[in-house]
Chains A and B, each alone.
Chain A
Amino acid sequence: MTTALPRADVAPVASAKRRRRAPGWLAVAPLLVFTAVAFGLPALAIVNGAFSADDATTGASHYTGANVTASLQGPYLTALLGSVKLSAISAALGALLGLPLAQAVVSSRSRWLREAVLTASGVLANFGGVPLAFAFVATLGNAGVLTVHLGLKDSGWNLYSFWGLVLVYLYFLIPLMVLTITPALDGLRTQWREAALNNGANGVQYWRHVALPVLAPSLLGGLVLLFGSAFAAYATAAAMVGSAVPLVTLQIADALSGNVLVGQENVALALSLDMVLVAGLVMAVYLPLQRRSARWLDA
């Protein structure tokens, strides 16, 4: 190793350095130019559109705060709050149910079970969208297999409702939680539990005073990630409930495809801006938490 290194440096150091600088910028530049066009332009369009309005008579556009105000009133506000409520409840349930599942898998120490559950989680966490909605419609919809065979309809079951959506969202949120929390659970040392038990703690006390505080950043990070994922979901809701449940994503889609009054496109853009702000807030909470939990696990 040490004898090989000087030979690699036989080429003049200065020219090698100069040559290395150039590829750095050159290699990153296409990526930056591409995102500036493909991402920057639409982002600019959202902000510009959210704050401008077309004059009905002259067709000239001017800047105004009316769209943003409108997006925080009436049915639009209901939809925004509906989305936040749905995402918060399904994220909390997903975290609450995903944690014991991940713990059951990690503590089993069975390689086979672990691989199977993590692979399945990887698939199911991405199994959102239209196919998921149809699978649940076939299972628990009005003509679904379980609805018919168990006579659920008489007991008032309705999949096309708020709680129906929560049930469906959990199908990809729980696997997402398992994927997020498993590395953190792996980081819990057996010695910590043994030390706690040797000092007279019972299982509950160990979880309350040792395990949960260590897991807290990862748990919170997972919760926030689940919230963001549920908040942005559109396809599942569109294929399942149409507009039976007021959600901001469905409102934006309606306004974009001209299903409501003409000229609502700018309100759709204002709603999009609202969503970006919420999602931005989510990431602002998530990234520091993730960094914090990563530090714990590396230590």
Chain B
Amino acid sequence: MARRLTPWRWVVLGLAALYFLVPLAASVIFTVDVPGQGLTFDAYTKILTADGFLSSLVLSLELALATIAVVLLLMVPAVVALRLGSPRLRPVVEVVCSLPLVVPPIAFVAGIATVLKWGPEHLSRTPLFETFVAIQNPDFPVVLVLAYVVMALPFVYRALDAGLRAIDVRTLVEAARSCGASWPQALVRAVLPNLRGALLNASFLTLALVLGEFTVSHLLGYTPFAVWIYNVGGEQAQMSVAVSVLSLLVTWALLLALAGAGGRNRSASSRG
């Protein structure tokens, strides 16, 4: 039975490989085989010194770290509490974490831009106005962190919920409490080490989301990594494609590193 299906399967896999690999291969060829210049690696060597590359990448990484920190600080206690003693809150949290899926990023940013305009229009005499200015600081736009945390909620909730389903939180916490641990101690020293895989998973998804995010930051006028690639594309086609290829490779490497860390998870958790 299975043998009769084999040719069909290889045709499907072959076509899929063709469709998914050709654009990548062609992109690499496009960056190194420049018409009129022959084979050149200029597109790659010039990236590091390109205007705005480092600053935009650093901004994206800072935003990613801040987003991961905030989203985990908000979500971990909440989902652990759902498991421990507040199952009645579960639908509330579930709905809150699914709401961002209903509002596409472009609609979300339209809303954010409107709220930000309330600052100068209605609040210019109040202390709140200072807050509005502060969160829009171009060196570190906190408003983007707020938006990214909201956009990451569905993924982080799903990752953490799956991780918690695999362990018996109640027993862990009760064991820790009966050994004299306080609530924060029980959470940090007993529950979190067992959640390592889920925490890494959630962090990776958030990192990928922030590094690739374009819609919100572009329309609010900031220049993190994805917006920089977009801006470069206008003038230096080769370099923008080179950076696109590299960003895919980096994402891939991160995912593989995550898979590796997840594999080591079991031996590591026995230590904690």
A residues at B contact (CB < 8 Å): 7-8, 10-11, 20-21, 23-28, 30-32, 34-35, 37-39, 41-46, 49, 100-101, 103-105, 107-109, 113, 119-120, 122-124, 126-132, 134-140, 143-146, 170-171, 174, 197, 228, 231-232, 234-235, 238-239, 249, 252-253, 256-257, 265, 268-269, 272-273, 275-276, 279-280, 283, 287
The residue that A42 contacts in the complex, of B2, B20, B114, with Cβ under 8 A, is B114
Please encode chain B, from 94 to 110, with 1 for each CB lying within 8 Å of some chain A CB and 0 for all others: 00101111111111111
Q: What residues on A are CB-neighbors of B24 within 8 Å? A: 135
Q: What residues on A are CB-neighbors of B1 within 8 Å? A: 197
The docked-state distance in angstroms from the alpha carbon of A130 to that of B248 is: 11
Let me know if B219 and A256 touch, CB within 8 A.
yes
Let me know if A49 and B208 touch, CB within 8 A.
no
Let me know if A123 and B248 touch, CB within 8 A.
yes
Q: What residues on A are CB-neighbors of B63 within 8 Å? A: none
The residue that A107 contacts in the complex, of B9, B20, B104, with Cβ under 8 A, is B9
Let me know if A231 and B104 touch, CB within 8 A.
yes
**Given A232-B104, A232-B105, CB of A138 within 8 Å of CB of B30:** yes
**Given A32-B92, A49-B114, CB of A279 within 8 Å of CB of B106:** no
Q: Is B111 an interface residue (CB 8 A)?
A: yes
Q: What residues on B are CB-neighbors of A45 within 8 Å? A: 111-112, 114-115, 118
**Given A171-B23, A276-B104, CB of A39 within 8 Å of CB of B85:** no
Q: Is B86 an interface residue (CB 8 A)?
A: yes
Please encode chain B, from 27 to 66, with 1 for each CB lying within 8 Å of some chain A CB and 0 for all others: 1011101010000000000000000000000000000000
**Given A128-B212, A265-B114, CB of A276 within 8 Å of CB of B86:** no
Most buried by B among A45, A109, A171, A273: A45
Let me know if B84 and A130 touch, CB within 8 A.
no
Let me know if B27 and A139 touch, CB within 8 A.
yes
Top 10 A-B pairs ranked by shortest CB distance? A42-B111, A24-B86, A131-B244, A272-B107, A232-B104, A27-B81, A138-B30, A27-B77, A235-B214, A139-B26
Closest to B259 in A: A119
The residue that A139 contacts in the complex, of B23, B92, B230, with Cβ under 8 A, is B23
**Given A28-B93, A124-B20, CB of A42 within 8 Å of CB of B108:** yes
Most buried by A among B74, B84, B105: B74
Let me know if B78 and A234 touch, CB within 8 A.
no
Most buried by A among B85, B100, B256: B85
Let me know if B22 and A31 touch, CB within 8 A.
no
In angstroms, how far is the closest chain A Cβ from the Cβ of B225? Answer: 9
**Given A130-B229, A239-B233, CB of A123 within 8 Å of CB of B252:** yes
Closest to A239 in B: B230
Q: What residues on B are CB-neighbors of A287 within 8 Å? A: 98
Closest to A5 in B: B174
Q: What residues on B are CB-neighbors of A38 within 8 Å? A: 146-147, 149-150
Q: List 6 A-B contacts (CB under 8 A).
A: A8-B177, A104-B9, A130-B212, A130-B230, A235-B215, A275-B104
Let me know if B74 and A30 touch, CB within 8 A.
yes
**Given A24-B89, A138-B241, A253-B219, 15 more contacts at CB 8 Å?**
A8-B178, A28-B92, A30-B78, A31-B75, A42-B108, A46-B107, A46-B111, A101-B16, A119-B256, A135-B245, A138-B31, A253-B106, A256-B110, A279-B102, A283-B101
Q: What residues on A are CB-neighbors of B178 within 8 Å? A: 7-8, 10-11
In angstroms, how far is the closest chain B Cβ from the Cβ of A100? Answer: 5
The docked-state distance in angstroms from the alpha carbon of A142 to that of B22 is: 17
In angstroms, how far is the closest chain A Cβ from the Cβ of B43? Answer: 11
The docked-state distance in angstroms from the alpha carbon of A120 to that of B13 is: 13
